[in-house]
Amino acid sequence: MPNWSRGKGPDPSKFDPFTKSGKITRRQEQYNLLHEAGAPSEPENWGIDVRKSLPEFKYMTFDVVGTLIDFEGGLKDCLAGIAAEAGATIDGEEALSLYRAARYSKDADLFPDDLVRVYLEIAPKLGLPAEPKYGERFRDSTKNWKGFADSAEALARLAKSCRLVAMTNARRWAFDLFAQQLGNPFYAAFTADDTGTEKPDPVFFEKVFDFVGSEGNSKDDILHVAQSQYHDIGISRKLGLANCWIERRHAQKGYGGTIEPAEFTAPDYHFTSMAALADAVVVARG
């Protein structure tokens, strides 16, 4: 086992990156990719025994909101606009914390319709007008949410080597708008409307497994890509699904607008951007 220094991945000089055939092995590939991404000091906390090399996966399934679409930026921009009109100011991270608590209550409805209720709950705490018209504006802001700067280009590159499948807790009407933002790269898509549930419910994932099975493949052919430890990475590990954590908030503290998991789950692959994942596929392909 290599020596790991705090905040850095394994020292690549400790490894011969090639086999006798001149191709990177799966385990060596994983060490190299973790080194590029930066890994924590304890190697046993990371899933380094990957069953397939990145180019071998036939499907990549994607969380959409938070991984590909910048929902935190969209929420904060909308709230800041309402605050400016009301002569107030808000703290973006405080707003995300309040949003997170309200969104994951027992009264929650499907996303993003639920944003009307969420706004009316958090508005008084932020000093904003608690009127239904602003709640509707909060919900409708989803129509203007943008993809992260690297999302569309990375997806276009990845679509050349595997089938991309969206797995989103958003309703179909919202997903269709998000997909347009991303260049409509998906081979198939599963929404809260299609599955009748939301991640991390295993039923959501089982719907996707059934779809892949109908094409003569299995969950072993899937790499699940997501930013949420709570909704995606933890449950994918429990279901025996290979995963890739896109740590969008790597430069920020806390979990932002996403619920904090009960425990951190070691991902099989870890990158801080979609661009880095797309680059890694190219490198691994050779």
Residues found in the chain: 286
Strand partners, 69: 65, 147
* Domains defined for the chain, CATH in brackets: 1-47 (no CATH), 50-68+147-285 (3.40.50.1000), 71-144 (1.10.150)
pLDDT of 95-146, one tens digit each? Answer: 999 999 999 888 899 999 999 999 999 999 999 999 999 999 999 999 999 9
Three-state DSSP state, 193: helix
Of 11, 49, 63, 279, catalytic? 63
**Residue 63 catalytic?**
yes
Q: Which of 33-37, 44-48, 221-225, 229-233 has the lowest mean pLDDT?
A: 44-48
Judge whether 208 and 226 are in contact, CB under 8 Å: no
Residue predicted with more confidence, 42 or 38: 38
- pLDDT of 254: 87
pLDDT of 143-155, one tens digit each? Answer: 999 999 999 999 9
What pTM does this model have? 0.83
Residues 6+ apart with CB under 8 A from 20: none
Three-state DSSP state, 137: helix
Determine the average pLDDT of the residues in 234-240. Answer: 97
pLDDT band at residue 52, thresholds of 50, 70 and 90? confident
- pLDDT of 286: 82
CA torsion angle 122 124 127 128 (round to 10)? 70
Q: Kindly tell me if the per-residue pLDDT of 48 is higher than 70.
A: no
- pLDDT of 104: 86
pLDDT band at residue 51, thresholds of 50, 70 and 90? low
Q: Kindly tell me if the per-residue pLDDT of 47 is higher than 50.
A: no
- pLDDT of 14: 30
- pLDDT of 221: 97
Q: Kindly tell me if the per-residue pLDDT of 232 is higher than 50.
A: yes
In the chain, what percentage of residues exceed pLDDT 90?
77
pLDDT of 176-230, one tens digit each? Answer: 999 999 999 999 999 999 999 999 999 999 999 999 999 999 999 999 999 999 9
Q: Hey, what are 142's tokens? A: 């989803």
- Alpha-carbon distance of 283 to 250, in angstroms, equals 23
Judge whether 82 and 129 are in contact, CB under 8 Å: yes
